[in-house]
């Protein structure tokens, strides 16, 4: 029975790995081990708890205001000191975070196979998103199995030289998690949102946290949200990221704004309830960029380029950058033009059909079966 370690440290990674971990727990072919780096500890723990998952190992690397180099080094150092003790047969990493890169490197340094979920996303610009584009390209060089969420991401990997038998298009597991959350969506427990069931205003759900949004772009985003909230019959709801680089810029703009509601990051099912209630989603979050279109919610992406072009091409998401004028213009067009709104408010399966977890498990099982067969042939 292969022992497989899932190494991650952020809320999005946890959400996208959770359905795979829980499926693997029920599959007698595998023994999963959950390793939390604690890169975003508080939000990570809440997300895992929703899916009934407790980390088997906690590295607890996070410290206030760490640099990218510091957090990556701390994860790599702690993994390198422990990973051989776990007796694992493979490491699963997801996406493109510091935890992803450090987890893959630690496995590679100890000659442990690396399985990369959500592999092959490419923006075409090594500096955007930063550092995620570089992280995922680096992981692709050492991964033994690439699990791509879309046909395009699979093609990216093949173009870069990944062996065809090591690339599987699975769909994105976030759609699986979204289906589960939507089916189990609770009433709003957050007091500031308790009145949503009777709300008659148009709801704009907004979030921003990416590193490239820090500084001047975050000011532009904040001003845009204030201007939108001043329009007639509009309420802006902002689940605000815990990072000081976000909060210290955003909060001063939002005080005493009657039509803006600021809440702390919501549990995943509550956030899905909020997205279901939204008329428009405005975000730089990769998760929202995938979830909004799947729910049929017009999604304005606070970026200039994206490694997830499928929903943009389908017409349910739109890249609007981070300038105040552009954000306000595009959102106003959706709020005021029913035809334009209807064109974008169409659910699409750009990122999967909700069966990615089954395909991921199948691909990992086939990888181990082929590995066992090769070892048997070598022994004979």
CA distances from 210 to 20, 64, 220, 246, 264 (A): 26, 17, 14, 9, 17
Q: Which residue has the tokens 């064109």?
A: 343
Q: Which of the residues 11, 202, 241, 359 is marked catalytic?
A: 241
User: Is 160 assigned a catalytic role?
Assistant: no
Q: What is the pLDDT of residue 30?
A: 98
Q: What is the pLDDT of residue 297?
A: 98
Whole-angstrom Cα distance, residue 231 to residue 202?
A: 10
Q: Which of the residues 132, 176, 307, 330 is marked catalytic?
A: 132
User: Is 132 assigned a catalytic role?
Assistant: yes
274 close to 237: Cβ distance less than 8 angstroms:
yes
Q: Which of the residues 179, 211, 326, 333 is marked catalytic?
A: 211
Q: Which of the residues 40, 50, 94, 96 is marked catalytic?
A: 96
Q: Which residue has the tokens 């595009």?
A: 330
Q: What is the dihedral of CA 188, 192, 196, 197, to 10 degrees?
A: 50
User: Is 96 assigned a catalytic role?
Assistant: yes
pLDDT tens for the chain, 380 residues: list them: 899 999 999 999 999 999 999 999 999 999 999 999 988 777 888 999 999 999 999 998 888 888 999 999 999 999 998 999 999 999 999 999 999 999 999 999 999 999 999 999 999 999 999 999 999 999 999 999 999 999 999 999 999 999 999 999 999 999 999 999 988 887 787 889 999 989 999 999 999 999 999 999 999 999 999 999 999 999 999 999 988 999 999 999 988 899 999 999 999 999 999 999 999 999 999 999 999 999 999 999 999 999 999 999 999 999 999 999 999 999 999 999 999 999 999 999 999 999 999 999 999 999 999 877 666 666 66
Q: Which residues of 99-138 are buried (b: 16+ CB within 10 A; e: fewer)?
A: bbbbbbbbbbeeebbbbbbbbbbbbeeeebbebbbebbbb
Q: 318: burial class by Cβ within 10 Å (0-12, 13-18, 19+)?
A: middle
Q: What is the pLDDT of residue 366?
A: 97
Phi, psi of 357 (to 5 degrees): -55, -45
User: Is 210 assigned a catalytic role?
Assistant: no
Q: Which of the residues 118, 133, 279, 290 is marked catalytic?
A: 118
Q: Residue 323 corresponds to which tokens in the numbers above? A: 């300038």
CA distances from 116 to 59, 95, 100 (A): 20, 7, 9
User: Is 219 assigned a catalytic role?
Assistant: no
Domains and CATH numbers, the chain: 3-172+353-379 (3.40.50.2000), 182-345 (3.40.50.2000)
**pTM confidence score:** 0.95
Q: What is the pLDDT of residue 376?
A: 61
User: Is 211 assigned a catalytic role?
Assistant: yes
* Residues contacting residue 79 through CB under 8 Å, at least 6 positions apart: 7, 35, 37, 59, 102, 103, 106
CA angle 351, 292, 317 (to 5 degrees): 80
Q: What is the pLDDT of residue 189?
A: 76
Phi-psi region of 296 (alpha: psi -120 to 50; beta: other; left: phi over 0): left
């Amino acid at each position: 029975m292969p022992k497989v370690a899932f190494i991650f440290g952020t809320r999005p990674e946890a959400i996208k790995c959770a359905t795979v971990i829980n499926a693997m727990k029920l599959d007698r072919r595998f023994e999963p081990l959950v390793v939390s780096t604690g890169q975003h500890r508080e939000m990570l723990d809440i997300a895992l708890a929703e899916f009934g998952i407790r980390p088997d190992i906690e590295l607890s690397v996070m410290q206030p205001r760490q640099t990218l180099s510091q957090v990556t080094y701390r994860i790599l150092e702690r993994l390198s000191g422990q990973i051989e003790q776990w007796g694992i047969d493979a490491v699963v990493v997801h996406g493109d975070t510091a935890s992803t890169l450090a987890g893959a490197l630690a496995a590679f340094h100890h000659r442990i196979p690396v399985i990369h979920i959500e592999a092959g996303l490419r923006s075409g610009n090594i500096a955007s998103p930063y550092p995620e584009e570089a992280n995922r390209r680096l992981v692709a060089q050492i991964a033994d199995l690439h699990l791509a969420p879309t046909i395009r991401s699979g093609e990216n990997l093949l173009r870069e030289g990944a062996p065809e038998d090591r690339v599987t298009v699975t769909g994105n597991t976030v759609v699986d998690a979204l289906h589960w959350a939507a089916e189990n969506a609770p009433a709003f427990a957050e007091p500031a949102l308790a009145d949503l069931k009777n709300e008659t205003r148009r709801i704009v759900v907004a979030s921003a946290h990416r590193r490239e949004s820090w500084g001047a772009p975050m000011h532009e985003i904040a001003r845009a949200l204030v201007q939108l909230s001043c329009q007639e019959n509009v309420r802006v709801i902002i689940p605000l990221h815990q990072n000081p680089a976000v909060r210290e810029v955003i909060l001063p703009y939002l005080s005493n704004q009657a039509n803006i509601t600021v809440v702390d990051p919501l549990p995943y099912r509550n956030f899905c309830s909020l997205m279901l209630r939204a008329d428009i989603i405005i975000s730089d979050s990769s998760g929202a960029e995938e979830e909004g279109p799947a729910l049929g919610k017009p999604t304005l992406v606070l970026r200039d380029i994206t490694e997830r072009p499928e929903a943009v091409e389908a017409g349910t998401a739109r890249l609007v950058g981070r300038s105040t004028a552009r954000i306000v213009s595009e959102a106003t067009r959706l709020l005021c033009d029913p035809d334009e709104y209807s064109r974008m408010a169409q659910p699409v399966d750009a990122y999967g059909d909700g069966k990615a977890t089954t395909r991921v498990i199948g691909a990992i099982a086939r990888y181990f079966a082929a590995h066992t067969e090769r070892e048997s042939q070598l022994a004979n």
